Amino acid sequence: MQRRRIRPGWRVALCCLGVLLPLSARAESGRVLTAERVEAAVHRHVLQQGPWQAGEVEVRVRAVPPLRLPGGEIELQVVRPRQVIPGLRSFLLAVGVTGREITKVWVQAEIRIFAQVVVTSRPLAHHEVITADAVRLERREISTLATRAFTKIEEVVDRQAARALAVNEILTPALVQQPRVLRRGSAVTLLYESSALRVETSGQALEGGKIGDRIRVKNSSSGKVLEGQILDARTVRVH
C-alpha cells in the first residue's frame, strides 16, 4: 500500500488550524452568559434599590440560560423587579453588547442579607437581666427575621429576657424588655405636672411594671385610685 504524502502547503494549513481552534474556543467561551456576570449585575441592583451595604448582600444564581453572545463588551441591567425583597426571586435582565440590547432573559437568584448582630453567649432565664458578658456581636443572616435585630451591645445591656433564651439566639426587640422597676405595694412619689404647676405627693403602686408602663396607684393622702405612667423606680406621673 502506498502512503500518501502530505504536501507542504497542507502542512502549513493544518498547523494553522491547530493554532486557530483553541483560540476560537477561548473566544467562544468568553461570550457565554455566566453565573458570575449575572450575580454581579443582580448584586449591583440590590444595592441600588435596597438599604444595605455591599458586604451585607449575598447573591446566588440558581441557573443561567444557555445564551451565547456576539463579540464585544457584555452589559447586563436588571429590568424587573424594582423592589427587592430577600429570598428566592426572579429577575428580568436586559442583555446588551457594546451598547446594543441583544435580548432579555429571566434568571432566578437567592438574595441573602447578613449583618453584625447581638447574639446570646450563654442561656438566659426568663426575666434575667442581660449583662455585657452574656452577649456578643456576630455576623449572621438576617433575611428571615420578622423584625430588626439589635446591632449594638449597649442596646440590650441592663434589660431583661422576655422569655428563656438559648445560647446563640439573635436578639430582637421581641426577646428583651425593660426590667420591672416597681412591684405591687411599692411606695412611690406621685407627680402631677402642668404648664404652670408641679405637685408631688406620696402614693402606693397597686401594680408592678416597667419604665413607661401605665399602672394604677393610690394617693396616700386622699385614698383616691389614679392611673399613671412609671417614670423611674420611685416616680409615677399622674393626670
Give which of 116, 166, 114, 153 is closest to 138, Cα–Cα. 116
**Is the pLDDT reported for residue 66 higher than 70?**
yes
pLDDT digits (tens, 9 = 90+) for 30-60: 478 899 999 999 999 999 999 999 999 999 9
Domains of the chain are 35-112 (no CATH), 114-177 (3.90.1210.10), 180-238 (2.30.30.760)
**Is the pLDDT reported for residue 28 higher than 50?**
no
The predicted structure's pLDDT at residue 15 = 39
Q: Tell me the DSSP string of 160-221.
A: EESS-B-TTPBP-TTTEEPPEEE-TT-EEEEEEE-SS-EEEEEEEESS-EETT-EEEEEETT
The predicted structure's pLDDT at residue 172 = 96
Cβ 178 vs Cβ 202: under 8 Å: no
Confidence of residue 235 (pLDDT cuts 50, 70, 90): very high
3-state secondary structure of 77: strand
Mean pLDDT of 13-31: 39
pLDDT digits (tens, 9 = 90+) for 97-143: 998 999 999 999 999 999 999 999 999 999 899 999 999 999 999 99
The predicted structure's pLDDT at residue 33 = 87
pLDDT digits (tens, 9 = 90+) for 169-198: 999 999 999 888 889 999 999 999 988 889
Predicted model pTM:
0.65
Q: State the sign of the Cα–Cα–Cα–Cα dihedral 232, 210, 137, 52.
A: negative
Share of the chain above pLDDT 70, in %: 87
**Is the pLDDT reported for residue 160 higher than 50?**
yes
- Using alpha carbons only, what angle is made at residue 231 by residues 226 and 235, rounded to the nearest 5 degrees? 65
Q: What's the full length of the chain, in residues?
A: 239
The predicted structure's pLDDT at residue 67 = 85
The predicted structure's pLDDT at residue 3 = 52
